[in-house]
Amino acid sequence: MTNGPAPAFIPLSVPELRGREWDYVKDCLDTGWVSSVGAYVDRFERAVAEAVGVAHGVAVMNGTAALHLALRIAGVQAGDEVLVSDLTFIAPANAIRYLDAHPVFVDADPVTWQMDATRVEAFLAGSCRREGERLVNRETGRRVACLLPVDVAGHPVDLDPLLELARRYGLPLVEDASECLGAHYKDVPAGSRADMACLSFNGNKVITTGGGGMLLTNREDWARRAKYLSTTAKDDAVEFVHGEVGYNYRMTNVLAALGCAQLEHLGPYVARKRAIAARYREGLAGIPGLLPMEEPPWARSIFWMYTVLVDPAAYGLDSRGLLAELGARNIQARPLWQPMHLSPAHAGCQTLGGAVAERLNRQGLSIPCSVGLTDADQDRVIQTLAGLARS
């Protein structure tokens, strides 16, 4: 590299605040409705539920809280097992453990990177047995209680095979759609067909509330129970009577106000994400050793994180070497998550496969894809990737 001023920093994925965020948040401050009760909370819940095509939304403090509530409402109990994606951020695995239940990690499909339904089917058919109404893991003797597929990197999981298995074996299906708001599966919004779905509005998501999440469902009784549990299970607000152990999980009105403003731009933001992905696909096509995530005909991804697989033999660097070289040039990148079966926090959990998740972790690298990424900055990323490739 030549001496001189460092090039401008290009972040991986940062919020885009271009709408009425200031107006709505100021309204909260002016009226004093800043806590976990207020008109913006109700408005945000209705608007997100409508965007996803479900009847009910329950806004909470983060996506992990939504997952925790969903699993409890789905009937997961201490000692149960939940089949969950191996390639994922740690939140869904942690949520399972919050209930003193056990994750069973399911490897990724090598093409879509999502939960491999063939492994789920083989496990349920060959490694489980019926004991009355219970489905029991032959190896551990524990009840299998739920399926929890994760929509990875803005791409929906192939849900139909998993839903068929869930119905066949009497299991609820909770979809972790945290990274997938605005995506579509077979022409319907991601998260709309699961028994429950969970969203995240963290700062790097396509729309953000700074921190926040939501549980989505078509069942009124489950939505009502989620609101009850997320407001400390309070039965009498005057005498402070609590019928059971609940959680202080409700989203604040200020954060919901931010979310309402953000949601007004969901369509344009998703369109921009897809345009960035299309420019990357075209710009990187001639660079050997960089392989983008596939988008099969049944999926419409939001490309929340634009991720490529780095083949070191063809490219000349491995993913971590490329990560360092990009960082030295003020371009932020990020590997995919450590597979859950390798996480020290979840050591000893049963795993169905794991080799695909390990390969994706070893080779995967996400590159800048903020909604506000300029064409000039994207061109700089593409040119840098081309320049670093083995000539």
| DSSP label of 345 | G
Mean pLDDT of the chain: 96
pLDDT at position 101? 98
Nearest to 174 by CA among 157, 197, 158, 193: 197
Query: If pLDDT is split at 50, 70 and 90, which confidence band does 237 have?
Result: confident
Q: Longest C-alpha distance within the chain, in Å?
A: 74
Average pLDDT over residues 212-216: 98
Instruction: State the residue for tokens 């300029």.
Output: 374
Average pLDDT over residues 258-276: 98
pLDDT at position 6? 85
Query: If pLDDT is split at 50, 70 and 90, which confidence band does 385 have?
Result: very high
24-38, 48-62, 277-291, 325-339: the lowest-pLDDT one: 24-38
Q: Helix axis angle, 375-388 relative to 319-328, nearest 10°?
A: 130
Average pLDDT over residues 180-187: 97
User: Which residue among 205, 227, 234, 273 is the active-site one?
Assistant: 205
pLDDT at position 383? 98
Nearest-angstrom CA–CA distance, 227 and 281: 43
What does the pLDDT look like over 292-348, one tens digit per residue?
999 999 999 999 999 999 999 999 999 999 999 999 999 999 999 999 999 999 999
Residue type, 154: G
pLDDT at position 4? 73
Nearest to 305 by CA among 255, 251, 364, 388: 364
186 catalytic per annotation: no
Strands of the 351-352 sheet, one edge to the other: 144-148, 81-85, 102-106, 351-352
Sorted by where each begins, the domain ranges of the chain are 21-263, 266-388
Q: Is the pLDDT assigned to residue 2 strictly greater than 60?
A: no
CATH number, domain 21-263: 3.40.640.10
Superfamily of domain 266-388 in the CATH hierarchy: Aspartate Aminotransferase, domain 1 (3.90.1150.10)
Percent of the chain with pLDDT over 90: 96
pLDDT at position 391? 56
pLDDT at position 386? 97
319: Cα within 13 Å, side-chain hemisphere? 22
pTM (2 decimals)?
0.96
DSSP string of 17-58, one letter each residue: --SSHHHHHHHHHHHT--SS-SHHHHHHHHHHHHHHT-SEEE
